[in-house]
């Protein structure tokens, strides 16, 4: 399982509309690797959580996965559409 599949699994398990979740990874020169998670507006509350606790937990789990698999630092962006 790569990091994109792992992030999709985590987000889809708490999202109200899991079929609409999109996860992409890309590299930038200034920020390094970025994992972009796109969720539907209707699921923003459940994915972000109260005071951003779920989003913070997702970032921690994804960062831990990247550390264990020697992927380097990965910045996680969660956005709605």
Task: Read off the pTM.
Answer: 0.91
pLDDT digits (tens, 9 = 90+) for 7-46: 999 999 999 999 999 999 999 888 889 999 999 999 999 9
pLDDT digits (tens, 9 = 90+) for 44-64: 999 999 999 999 999 999 999
Domains and CATH numbers, the chain: 3-80 (3.30.300.20)
Q: Could you give the 3-state DSSP secondary structure of residue 40?
A: coil
Q: What is the DSSP string of 18-50?
A: GGG-EEEEEEETTTEEEEEEEE-GGGHHHHH-G
């Amino acid at each position: 399982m790569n990091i994109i599949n792992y992030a999709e699994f985590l987000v889809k398990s708490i999202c109200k509309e899991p079929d609409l979740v999109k996860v992409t990874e890309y590299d930038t020169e200034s920020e390094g690797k970025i994992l972009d998670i796109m969720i539907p507006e209707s699921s923003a509350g459940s994915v972000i959580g109260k005071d951003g606790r779920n989003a913070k937990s997702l970032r921690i789990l994804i960062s831990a996965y990247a550390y264990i698999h020697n992927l380097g630092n990965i910045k996680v962006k969660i956005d709605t559409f």
